[in-house]
Structure 1
Amino acid sequence: MVEVPDVPAPRRSLLHCLAFLVYLWTVTPVRRLLGYEPIVPESSIRTEIGVRFIRYSIENSLEGARAFEAATSKLVSMSVPDKLTPVEDDGIRGVWIGDEYESGHDGSNEPVIVYFHGGGYSTCSALTYVTGLSGIRKALKKIHNINMRIFSLEYSLAPESKYPTQLNEAIAAIEYVAKEYPNRPIILMGDSAGGNLVLAVLQTLKKSPSDKLPWLKLYLIHAVDKAKELKNRVSAAILISPWVDIVIPPTSHEANHAYDFTSIHTLKRMTQWFLPDGADVKDPLLSPVFADLSGFCPMFIHYGGRESFASDIERFIEAAKKARPALSLDVFVEPKAPHITPMMPPFFPDMAERGHVAIAHFVAKLISS
């Protein structure tokens, strides 16, 4: 394993980030016209701007990154056509995306999605990627005439809240949604760290609460029957660029860092913030690439061929293919994409739309099966 040095994070304000975006929109097209090679190899102008801008904004102090994210979340939430309904219910915080289902239709077999956002467990919010979630809902409605609500969980962030706080809150969110819609199947969806959280949830629901777990405390599951009930309600998982191995640096970083916006220095800080004392980085609940995937629900995995997590995700896919009994697995690779493009349509519109369509097809296939 390569040792990643500690590098102090600069403090970049919202104004700094926006000024850099204006600079990129001004300079990048001119550089192309003058015949210069792309700074992000083999990329379109828009993709290069997206990768460089996102990288700049996340190579930031925790305070700077959170301030930037909070401001941009407010802006993007005003740009989507979907109804957004904040929720605070018995300790569960989040946002419902989409209108209420029509009265009398709760017996429908159309699932509801429970979504966990990325951000290394220390940044981002339930609304950070609302344009991506809105795009998925649009594809479902336009192509398959499926109206699907999404509950986006506002989980507690590190370093203020160490893992497994987020896992306990995720399980509580599933229980909340299961009570809200007792007759509908539930699909779990997460990007990056949110994908890591989805896989931790699936492993936890497989276990009996009496199983010995080295450092995980199950505050919310009090009986085997409750675990089985929630497990049976989860019909599938959608993983977008999931963080499946928390060892830093990611395996593909050296090959793909020029194409991707993820920062190993930021990842290292985030890992240190969310890990509990004495945690084993090869614990399957933290690094699901080491998990026993037998008995998992059907899964859809989307990732970019040029992202730093690519090789780790491919290792996870190979492990999933070896699971017995056989695991239902759909994989969509966007060959030239960086990290989590379906969640960022403003920067990667074509790649995001293809991801939305692929996810919509997966959901429709589930419903028809």
Structure 2
Amino acid sequence: MILSQISYLDCIAFLVFLAPQLLVQIGLLPLLTWLTPALPSLAPKAVAIPYQFVRERFFVPHQHRAPFVQKATPFQDLVIRFVRYAFANMPAFLGRVFFSKAVSLPFLRFRMLRHGIVTSPIRWTEIKRPNFGGVWIVHNQQEQPDVIVYYCHGGGFSMGSSFFYMEFLLAWVAMLKNAGYSNPALFALEYTLVPDATYPTQLHETVAGYEYVLSLAQSSVRVVVGGDSAGATLILSFLLYMSDHTDLRHQKPGLAIMISPWVTILSRENRNTESDYLNSSSLELYGRQYIGSKVSAYDPIVSPGTCRDLDKWREASPEQGWYFLYGSEEVLGPETRRLISLLEKTGKEVDSWEEPGGIHAWPVASLYLGETREARLSGLKSIVEAIKNRIHS
């Protein structure tokens, strides 16, 4: 199921679904308690966004614009400006509502109906177990999958849900089917968000989710693990964790797909750029909340980028290696490049796609914001090709 670009009508519908959930999930009094003192500083910044948009797009020479603005459509540019504002200024408890199932699922249904689709041709089932949860998506529920993607969503460990990614995940399974797999499937982990729990709860849930996927797979080498941002961090942590545990060491996945990974939780290399919507100060706040007070920020299982041991990474690497996707303008870009360089020294196959002018998790965002079908699917297309080349149907 591949839908068209997000429209202004979709944006309005999203706000309609969001507004009541802010009251339901947060409450009027807590909202006002946060908003009242914050409004004097937030309002001028919000009002400035349209002015900055017009000035840079129409009065600044093209070569002097931010790299992302040079390639972005007006709609993409405006949306990313508001996302950048929200990430820098809005607390995580608001973000949790934005990305929650209660908002995302009705929004997906609205998008489907707008395209004349009542029921998705690819079915999904919500899985709830005592030690993990998630969403199981499979082309044919009656047959064993021939390839399974195990995915962890992003959101700074503090927000996000698999349901917010559902359109992206459904498109991924559909494209795997079109690529020649007879019954592709995907399991998206719903891990516990901060501050409800801190590390190592999320890691333990990731391990439990992988064991569940193994119970459904033909073999571990037909499993692709992946994630974006903080979700990619969990996958990196999990792979390092596997290398220390005999019961998992011989059940390594076939391939790892890393979309804009948050490689090192606390790093001086994480610096703001003109283009990216991530904010280094907010990242540090979320990172410290995830780590908590009982473990070190330099523990490689917590923060994988702190591991410089080639043997460790060689043992942790999937059977068919790695595929990284990230943008040249990312706040997290320097640490990603450093990890890729390290992994290349292990002798494992490491491919990467650094998009010029690209920003954080653009392969995911472009599915919603891309102007043409080709632009929307370019990131997913490269991912499916990487899987097809390493894990034969």
Q: TM-score range by the shorter chain?
A: 0.7 to 0.9
Match of 1:243 among 245, 254, 262: 262
Alpha-carbon deviation of 1:46? 3.0
1:97-122 per-position Cα deviation (integer Å, ceiling 9, x unaligned): 2333553xx3x6x3201111111111
Which structure carries more helix by proportion? 2
Partner of 1:280: 296
State how 1:244-259 maps to structure 2 within 5 Å.
Answer: 244-249=263-268, 251=269, 253-254=271-272, 257-259=273-275
Contact 2:189 2:206 in 1 (8 A): yes
In 2, Cα distance between the equivalents of 1:357 and 1:314? 22
Higher deviation after alignment, 355-364 or 343-352:
343-352
Higher deviation after alignment, 111-120 or 345-354:
345-354
Partner of 1:217: none
Residue 95, structure 1, aligned to residue 135, structure 2: yes
Residue 264, structure 1, aligned to residue 301, structure 2: no
| One-letter identity of the residue aligned with 1:245 | T
Partner of 2:382: 358
Identity %: 24
In 2, Cα distance between the equivalents of 1:56 and 1:75? 25
In 2, Cα distance between the equivalents of 1:334 and 1:98? 30
Partner of 1:214: none
Higher deviation after alignment, 160-169 or 89-98:
89-98
State how 1:327-366 maps to structure 2 within 5 Å.
Answer: 327-344=348-365, 345-348=367-370, 352-366=376-390
Partner of 2:117: none
Alpha-carbon deviation of 1:88? 1.0
Identify unmatched segments of 5+ residues in structure 2. 1-32, 113-119
Aligned residues: CA RMSD: 3.1
TM-score (norm 1): 0.79
Partner of 2:115: none
Distance verdict in 2 for CA 1:180–1:266, change over 3 Å:
same
Partner of 2:98: 68
In 2, Cα distance between the equivalents of 1:145 and 1:352? 22
Distance verdict in 2 for CA 1:98–1:240, change over 3 Å:
same
Alpha-carbon deviation of 1:42? 1.9
Contact 1:252 1:312 in 2 (8 A): yes
In 2, Cα distance between the equivalents of 1:31 and 1:203? 44
1:317-353 per-position Cα deviation (integer Å, ceiling 9, x unaligned): 0110111xx1111111111110001112212456552
State how 1:50-61 maps to structure 2 within 5 Å.
Answer: 50-59=79-88, 60-61=90-91
| One-letter identity of the residue aligned with 1:365 | N
State how 1:159-308 maps to structure 2 within 5 Å.
Answer: 159-183=195-219, 185-208=222-245, 224=246, 226-228=247-249, 231-249=250-268, 251=269, 253-254=271-272, 257-291=273-307, 292-295=312-315, 296-297=317-318, 298-308=321-331
TM-score (norm 2): 0.74
How many pairs does the alignment contain?
328
SS of match in other structure, 2:125: strand
In 1, Cα distance between the equivalents of 2:217 and 2:161? 24
Partner of 2:19: none
